Structures are given as C-alpha cells and as structure tokens.
Amino acid sequence: MSGDTALQEKRRDAMKVLSHVPAAEIETRMAALPVPPHQDLRAPESGLVMVRGRIGGDGAPFNLGEATVSRAAVRLQGGQVGFGYVLGRDGGKARLIALCDALLQSSDHAQAIEKEVVAPLRARMQQERDRSAAEAAATRVDFYTMVRGEG
Amino acid sequence: MYVAVKGGERAIENAHRLLAHERRGDRSVPELSLAQISEQLGLAVDRVMSEGSLYDRELAALAIKQARGDLIEAIFLVRAFRATLPRFGATEPVDTGEMRVQRRVSSTFKDIPGGQVLGPTFDYTHRLLDPALAEAGDPEAPALASTSDAPMPRVTDILGQDGLIERSPDADPDVPVGDLTRDPLSYPAGRDLRLQNLARGDEGFLLALGYSTQRGYGRNHPFAGEIRFGEVEVEFFAEEIGFAVPLGSLALTECQMVNQFKGSASEPPCFTRGYGLAFGQSERKTMSMALVDRALRARELGEDLIAPAQDEEFVMSHSDNVQATGFVEHLKLPHYVDFQSELGLLRKLRQEFADANAVPVLKEAAE
C-alpha cells in the first residue's frame, strides 16, 4: 500500500467513525487536544444528496430518495485541507469532522487525533453495533430446538 | 375568484391561530417533543421519510407534529422543505448485502445462511390491545445472544448461484440514472424511474395494487424470497476530495419478491423477481412495491396486459399522494367563478326544459 493510499484509508476510516457518533462527543475529545490555528475554507452548509439503491439489490442503480447532508472544509495554518461530510443538518458536526480530517494529514497531530479521538469513538461505535447485533441475534429462529421441544 | 380570497384575510389568519390551538390540544397535557415522536412513533417517521422522499428523522418528526399526525400533510411539508435545499450530488449505490441486519426473514427457505432473524416485528403478536400500555412503564430490556460473523447473503444471490432466478439488470454506463424530480415523466419509463416513483409512492395505493395482483388482476405468483431491515452505510464521491466519503448509515428495508418462472427458446426457465426498497422499517410498503414492480414488468416479460397494476401510466401517475391530495383537495378552494358559469348554464338548460315541456301542457289546456 502506498503512503497516499494508506493515508486515504485512514481518513476514510476516521470519517466513517466520526459520522456515526454524536457531535458532542467529538467536540469533548477535541477540546482536550491542542488544535493549531485554522480557518474555514468552506463554511458549514446543509444540502441534499440523492441516495441510490440498485435494482434487485445488485443491479443497475436507481434513485431511492434524498437525504439531508452537511459539509464543511477547514484549512490548517500548515496548509492541510480537511473535509467533513455527514448525514443530517448539523453543520457544526461537519466542521468538526473536517478539522479532524485536516489534523490527520498533519504529521504533528495525526497520532493524537487517532489515539485520543478516533480510536475511543471507534470503540464506542463498535460497542453500540455489538449490542444491536446481540439483540437481533436473540430473535434468530432455531428450528431444531422447536422440533425437540415439541417432540 | 381571488377577490373573495382577499376578503377572507382575517378569517384565514384566525383559522390558522385556531389550528395552532387545536394542534396543541389541552394545554394541561404535556407537549410532544420531536424526540418523543422520533423514538415512540418511529414507524410514522419512517413512512413520512419514505414518501416525503427525504431521509431526516428530525424533520419528519417535526412535520408529523405540525401536521397533527396527518401523515400525508406531513409528507407534503417534507417535500416542500426539500425544495429549499441545494443538492450536492448522488451517493454511491448502497450495498444492501452489507446491511447490519436487525430483521431478516425468508418465506422460501427455512434454513438460509445467517438464519431467520425476526427482529422487532408485529408478526406473531395477537393483535390484542394492551391495557398496560395505557400507563407509563418501561418494558423489559431486550434479550441478548452471541453473534456470529457468518455472512448473510441475499436469498436471491443464493438462487442466482444455480441460475434458478433471473439476474438483476446490469447498469448501462452510457445511460444516466433517471430522476423524476429533475425531468418530467414520459412513458414507457425505465425500471429505474418506476422504482423511484414506487419508492415515494403512497403506501395505501401500492398496498391495494399489490393486493389486486394477488386476487387475480395481473397474478404473478409471488413468494417473499427475503425481507431485510437494518442499517446500511452510505458514501458520496466528492470531487474536491477525490474519494468516496462515508456519510453515515441509513435504516432501510428491502424486499426481494420471487415470482413465477419465465423461459424462452434460448434461455432455460427461471424465477423472475420484483424489488422493493424504502427508508426506515417499511415492510408493508416494500412488499407492496415489489409486487407492483413485478406487475409493471408484464410487457418486458411478454405477459398479457389486463390489470391496473400492470399499467405503468396508470400506476405511476396516481401513486404520488402529494400530487393526488393536491388535486383532490383543490376542489375545496374557491371556484366561485367556475361555479357561477355552471349555475348560469344549468339555469338556462332548466328553462329550456321547462319551455319544451310547457308547450304540450298549454296545448292540452287549449283543447
């Protein structure tokens, strides 16, 4: 994997985690870190994306319906530009994600962002997913048990 | 006649004030919060998102509150709001095969990889009103069980491995994905446009049409191959970033209907399919959608066109409840001038009728 691809995957992974957790939790964790001077390259704004599905689940795409999305872009003093895109109308959250994205591209900050922000929030997201999966798993039908019970 | 509307300004203002008062109801009863609607009337929110064609739980909850629980009015509000926002583009197509499944059932195979997962469902409830719910109280916490990482392939993928079911149509890179919010509909419409239309179509209308196919008006022998509900990741390719950006997850319901077979001189017989996909947990909607999607393929599959559900123009031009309610409900707006002209015409016709009938009477009297 080239350096660029590795960085891109890291950024995508951070975006995935941050888009799934409440903005307040990102903000709290960011507040505990030193954040270098930065400016808004694109002020937070809300809009729509057309969500696409596929015919039959795996065929040609079709337009399912729209979703609200917010986006923002931030530039660090060092020149790194970060982007934030997230479902919903919380422009502040898009800005936080953009700031994290910019910091991940800065060698001075990438490690701290990953360790103090992304990693704990990834664990939180995973915990929620595990709980949800465990709840669903408890409703899985076990036909064999039913047969034994009745026989 | 706008003059009459102008004269009603004060009446309209006071009517809206009264509406707001009625919406609030008895002020000694605590007011509903959007979180309460979103959390406790979740399926109403899902329906408003689906048919409002806008995924945003909070906005849908607000619309339901403002519409006093009238879901079609709420859908109307959401559609109007949607028109105020810019569109950044289209997402990458979602992969329902990677869904984090909350519910997944198949009526065609008992033992499917990943199993039958009932999830939160009204099925198997006795449909008896529960007096205990009249009082506040927390239900038991959900049961937990250990999970497995076993994949949950779509049932249609399993059938597809043996060639027993037709393949989904491949994308044609030269043809843009149809979008009925951008271009006016023309017929015949591609399946992409039909599915977009059905996805935002009225649940009751699609339910009735789907039901009509089962009762013999365009029968297509359906089995619910699979219904799944859960969270799906959605990504958006942003030009300025240069890669597909994860946006978060959407709750979606998918229905794969497996229908009677079709073969030809060159192709061995195989099952055909109908498809349903909608925002939120919208099972009745996606099942109806899949039945109607399949019915609308009648021409493509060489079937006789004999029933309303197979008539693309009929289905697609009447499925949208915002359009339908607009045209039906506009009848109550002032039509004073139209009506005056009708009234004038009717009076004239009655006079002519009276004159025509009066003549023999007079004659008789004269004799």
A71/B115 touch (CB, cutoff 8 Å), yes or no: no
- pTM flag (> 0.90): yes
Whether B154 and B254 share a structural domain: yes
B177/A51 touch (CB, cutoff 8 Å), yes or no: no
B246/A135 touch (CB, cutoff 8 Å), yes or no: no
Question: Given B29, B59, B82, which residue is the final one in a domain?
Answer: B82
Whether B313 and B238 share a structural domain: yes
Q: How confident is the model at residue B262 (pLDDT cuts 50, 70, 90)?
A: confident
Q: Is B261 in the A-facing interface, judged by CB distances under 8 Å? A: no
ipTM: 0.93
B192/A138 touch (CB, cutoff 8 Å), yes or no: no
The answer, yes or no, to whether residue A151 has pLDDT greater than 70, is: no
Whether B22 and B163 share a structural domain: no
Whether B217 and B102 share a structural domain: yes
Whether B221 and B309 share a structural domain: yes
What span, in angstroms and rounded, lies between the C-alpha atoms of A14 and A29? 14
Option in B82, B97, B118 nearest A66 (CB): B82
In a domain, B17, yes or no: yes
Q: Report pLDDT for B9.
A: 87
If one counts the domains in chain B, the total is 2
Whether B298 and B321 share a structural domain: yes
pLDDT tens, position by position, B233-243: 999 999 999 99
Option in A15, A55, A137 nearest B192 (CB): A55
Q: What number is the average pLDDT over the span B333-349?
A: 91
Q: How confident is the model at residue B149 (pLDDT cuts 50, 70, 90)?
A: confident
Tell me which residues of chain B, numbers 273 to 292, contact chain A at a CB-CB cutoff of 8 Å.
Answer: 273, 275, 277-279
pLDDT tens, position by position, B168-210: 999 988 899 999 999 999 999 999 999 999 999 999 999 999 9
Whether B109 and B39 share a structural domain: no
Whether B276 and B242 share a structural domain: yes
Option in B145, B157, B279 nearest A137 (CB): B145
Option in B88, B178, B248 nearest A71 (CB): B88
Which residues on adjacent β-strands are paired with residue B255? B227, B276
Whether B263 and B309 share a structural domain: yes
Contacts of A8 in chain B (CB under 8 A): 243
Q: In which domain, by residue range, is B25 found?
A: 2-82
In a domain, B201, yes or no: yes
Whether B55 and B158 share a structural domain: no
The answer, yes or no, to whether residue B256 has pLDDT greater than 80, is: yes
A62/B110 touch (CB, cutoff 8 Å), yes or no: no
